Structure 1
């Protein structure tokens, strides 16, 4: 029986260290992590790897339920897949495990709360943007890629893939920036 940890943050500038340390302290022999939104399962390669790796009796451990997912259906599907492999899911904060019947019920309720919290965050964000637009102070999100550097690299003869590698972003982002010009 192995304890396998899964850590996730939503954006590249967030830090995984606290989650990883906590999972290791809880006895996770393997910890997989990724920086990707938890809004859906799409693009969550490390989570998929962990699930495929699970064997009967193993325990998938996450620091908080929202690290597993922000949508109740996704969380329940992940738990169902783990159980289908004979494995368990343990959430450290609050400490809940699918090893017992009450754990299943509590995780379902917590999944619903996580989804509701996500909706509230989006509503507050939308309200704030609407107020800022009405006041004429909305400036949009900050640019994460230096557009002038992308243009300079392109002018120097680099292709989109090489630019993406050098800038630490996806080719699609480079294509979008170049098509905006």
Structure 2
């Protein structure tokens, strides 16, 4: 192997622990970590840094393909972007490697099938969630998360400036962390 082994880790939230993925990756010369949902590639700064960092001959090692791409098209686009730079992509759990020459026919087939199944499962999960919410609403048991007032948002900002963790702030206001994030985004 002529280049470096560069790891990429992504967890969906800042309070999630990437340790399991780091153990799967094994020894790497450098590791890039994103702590954000994979929905928006624009906010995945570590992925952008990784793509800027890699060179011809490097190997990008990822624990699992769902950590790299959110859907089949996204996965293929990112893999193509990495391999166009001359680096290989290694998905450890799936035992699939794609390099600038492409993947073996079997690896290509498995990549397509596994990516399609992962996307299918994400869509089914959202569908089941929507069905569950509809049933709960029909029974009058679904309660919408309370919104934060402008005063509440100012208090949240003050607490954040003082260094309080978002989880603790959310608990104080009896809302989810996501409600805190949404309220702060609206006020920006």
TM-score, structure 1 as length reference: 0.78
Aligned to 1:174: 184
CA 1:112–1:171 in 2, change beyond 3 Å: closer, same or farther? Answer: closer
Aligned to 1:128: 132
CA 1:175–1:58 in 2, change beyond 3 Å: closer, same or farther? Answer: closer
CA 1:7–1:132 in 2, change beyond 3 Å: closer, same or farther? Answer: same
Q: 1:151 offset after TM fit, Å?
A: 4.3
Aligned equivalents of 1:57 and 1:149: distance in 2?
52
Counterpart among 10, 14, 17 of residue 16 in structure 2: 14
The answer to whether the Cα contact below 8 Å between 1:40 and 1:71 also exists between their aligned partners in 2 is no
Aligned to 2:32: 32
In structure 2, runs of 5+ residues without a counterpart are 167-179
Cα shift readout 1:69-121 (whole Å, capped 9, x = no counterpart): 12111100001001110011111112111144232332222221221111111
Matched, 1:103 2:100: no
- Number of matched residues? 168
Aligned to 2:7: 5
CA 1:148–1:18 in 2, change beyond 3 Å: closer, same or farther? Answer: farther
Aligned equivalents of 2:39 and 2:51: distance in 1?
18
Moved over 6 A (4+): 169-172
CA 1:142–1:5 in 2, change beyond 3 Å: closer, same or farther? Answer: farther
Aligned equivalents of 1:36 and 1:103: distance in 2?
28
Q: 1:141 offset after TM fit, Å?
A: 5.1
Aligned equivalents of 2:185 and 2:36: distance in 1?
21
Aligned equivalents of 1:51 and 1:13: distance in 2?
25
> How well do the aligned residues superpose, as a CA RMSD in angstroms?
3.0
In structure 1, runs of 5+ residues without a counterpart are 154-159
Aligned equivalents of 2:160 and 2:182: distance in 1?
8
Aligned to 2:58: 58
Aligned equivalents of 1:17 and 1:140: distance in 2?
34
Cα shift readout 1:14-39 (whole Å, capped 9, x = no counterpart): 2212112322x2x2121111111112
The answer to whether the Cα contact below 8 Å between 1:8 and 1:35 also exists between their aligned partners in 2 is yes
Matched, 1:75 2:75: yes
